[in-house]
Amino acid sequence: MHRNQHNYDKMKLEIQKILLAFALPLLLLFILYTLRTMESVMNWDFITWGIYPRETKGIMGIFTSPLIHADWGHLFANTFPLLFLLWCLLYFYRDLGIGILFFIWIVSGILTFIIGKPGWHIGASSIIYSLAFFLFFSGILRKHVPLVALSLLVTFLYGSLVWNMFPQFASSTTSWEGHLGGAAAGIAAGILIRNKRPQQPELFIDEEEEDNSSHPENEEVITNPDQEKKND
């Protein structure tokens, strides 16, 4: 009875964490839709909030360009990928998520500013590419089962993104440089935190503990105390 109550409390806590991980993605989407609505209703144009490569007028866009979209179709296309991938980041990398988001946001913007073709580069696509490539490479580098599974899911859902990173396949109005810069930022973030301890839901931890307790023969037995000190 006590064990069932303990598992129930763990599950309840995990559900709260799942919902909490949606807070920042939903807040960001609220900002994106508010800005897009202001442009439509007030007939304003925030294009100058974008990145204009290698010119001083485009520096601010390193921080603001993901917030601006060309039209409603552009925003709608980015909505679900941004919501899902950012939730994955904040749920599976709880303590690291905010720092990773800040890193890929700035680095992808800087890379776009350096390599981009002349013109205003706007949209959250660079963040989406950063998140997708980070989640894939981080999961593979860590060799941690839940994160590897997440890597495979991201590949299945967004594997086709890779084609829009190259000018041969991207349309003339697509910022393939932003996509490429985002991918590079995501890979760099995955490499930088590869040695950080993997985070995982409490339910996974409980399952592993139960498996270890029910299969004691799988535990390593060290008969030589000197060997134990050496391994430590």
More confident residue, 193 or 161: 193
Q: What is the pLDDT of residue 163?
A: 87
Q: Environment class of residue 36 by beta-carbon count within 10 Å: exposed (0-12), middle (13-18) or buried (19+)? A: buried
Topology of domain 2-204 in CATH is Rhomboid-like fold (1.20.1540)
Q: Model pTM?
A: 0.80
Q: What is the pLDDT of residue 52?
A: 97
List the chain domain ranges: 2-204
Q: What is the pLDDT of residue 180?
A: 95
Q: Tell me the pLDDT of the chain averaged across its residues.
A: 83
More confident residue, 206 or 73: 73
Q: What is the pLDDT of residue 156?
A: 81
- Return the residue matching tokens 């609220």: 30
pLDDT in tens, 40-58: 999 999 999 999 999 999 9
CA distance 39 to 45: 6
pLDDT in tens, 92-108: 888 899 999 999 999 99
Q: Supply angle C-alpha 122, 110, 87, rounded to 5.
A: 65
